[in-house]
Amino acid sequence: MFDCERCGRCCRRVGRTALGEDMALPDGACRHLDKATNLCTIYERRPLICRVDDFYDAYMSKAMTREEFYRRNKNVCRMFRNEEKIPAV
């Protein structure tokens, strides 16, 4: 299983993706994100895009290994963390 850190960074950017536009609030965050806890309010019913392992099985298993998919997802996580450290100009 994908090791999600539950930081909420991807959920706060869901509106930046074509697959997540319909779930986004005007600020780009998922409408199902509890911003106080960074947890999903519909976790048991969350869409496929939010389920890394199920998304891999449905769409990516023929394109790359699970390990590669996990690595790419972790790289995006790191990118989001670094983006937040860049001071606004």
Q: What is the pTM of this model?
A: 0.82
Rounded to an integer, what distance in angstroms lies between the CA atom of residue 67 and that of residue 76? 14
5, part of any domain: no
Encoding tokens for residue 55?
Answer: 């998304």
For residue 72, being part of any structural domain is answered with yes
39: domain range?
Answer: 11-85
Q: Cα 82–54–70 angle (5° rounding)?
A: 35
Inside any domain, residue 64 = yes
pLDDT greater than 60 at residue 14: yes
- Does residue 62 belong to any structural domain of this protein? yes
Q: 83 versus 37: which is more confidently predicted? A: 37
Q: How many domains are there within the chain? A: 1
| 60-80 confidence digits (pLDDT tens) | 999 999 999 999 999 999 998
Angle at 13 between CA 11 and CA 17, to 5 degrees: 110
| pLDDT score, position 87 | 56
**Domain-located, residue 15:** yes
